[in-house]
Structure 1
Amino acid sequence: MSRPRASGERRLDSFDRAILRILQRDNKTPQREIAGAVNLSAAAVQRRIAAMEAAGIIERNIAIVDTRALGMTITAIVEVHLTDERPPTVDGAKALFLAAPEVQQCYYVTGGISFVLVIVAGDMIEYEAISRRLFADNDAVASFRSLIALNRVKTGAEIRIA
């Protein structure tokens, strides 16, 4: 099984960048519409999108869901300090956080904090159970701090493409 090439192995030209800008706003934009916007044929757009997917530049296509529509009213940003930064400790934490469906985003970071997580929950009772399971009852976690979001000002994954 071959693994996808690293995104740095394919150079992006101005057409690729224009296509990516459109796809980031709405990845369901018809290819003929993209083609018209970037002055290429629909077939050329399709080939370029397929090549960017194969190269790992486009990692995946997702839907951003309004968590409130699912009754997920709590969004917590959590700073996690591990007991140590040895590979087995870090790898165990990564695996735990990756497997937890409540964890929407997880970043292994520098600056005195081990991880920053974004977690969603239905209510504070549910969040307490999640925080106990992932942090308080976890011997690898030295401490954690929860920041509860008051308002979701911006979400999405759009990256500025020059």
Structure 2
Amino acid sequence: MSKTLPSRPLDEFDRSILRIIQKDNKMPQRQIAELVNLSAAAVQRRIASMEKAGIITGNVAIVNVNAVQMNITAMVEVHLKDERIDTVDNAKKLFHSASEVQQCYYVTGGISFILIIVTSDMKAYEEITRRLFAQNDSVGSYRSLIALDRVKSGNEIIIS
């Protein structure tokens, strides 16, 4: 599930386009073209090329979790019982397939995974923790940190 590196280098025009579309991917390409001093056709070709190269991996809508009653956000530290390849790969598959898991990182530092989980309420959160952790023989322990406030969230990557 790891990503391969982009197959082409980024120049300053590509970087400028990426900075713009990360903030608003619905901005008309003619407007992007004006901002980066290229033609709209050139912007369209560059965006298509970055998509084909795997630099742009998708276009998504960022949903306000409060508007859809997803009131609980938890950061979960997961410790696996062992770090054997099959144990780690099975955990990756399980966490990847769980729709409540918004983000999942396989990490170093004494913790196996960090997950960001979003649910409607504590009852739903309890169910997901039972399914993913408590009933999972590969999980040695887990610790939940429940968010009090979303100070900053989103997927924007700083393109320098």
Q: Give the TM-score range, shorter chain.
A: over 0.9
Taking the aligned partners of 1:27 and 1:36, their CA distance within structure 2 comes to: 15
Q: Match of 1:40?
A: 38
In the TM superposition, residue 160 of structure 1 has moved relative to its aligned partner by 1.2
In the TM superposition, residue 152 of structure 1 has moved relative to its aligned partner by 0.5
Report 1:1-162 matches (<5 A). Answer: 6-162=4-160
Kept after mapping to 2: 8 A contact 1:81/1:141 = yes
Aligned length: 158
Deviating above 3 A after TM superposition, structure 1's stretches of 4 or more consecutive aligned residues are 5-8
Taking the aligned partners of 2:8 and 2:48, their CA distance within structure 1 comes to: 12
- The secondary structure found in structure 2 opposite 1:95 is helix
TM-score by length of 2: 0.96
- The secondary structure found in structure 2 opposite 1:51 is helix
In the TM superposition, residue 7 of structure 1 has moved relative to its aligned partner by 3.8
Report the RMSD for the aligned CA atoms in angstroms: 1.1
Taking the aligned partners of 1:66 and 1:159, their CA distance within structure 2 comes to: 19
| Unaligned segments of structure 2, at least 5 residues | none
Taking the aligned partners of 1:72 and 1:8, their CA distance within structure 2 comes to: 34
TM-score by length of 1: 0.95
- The secondary structure found in structure 2 opposite 1:69 is coil
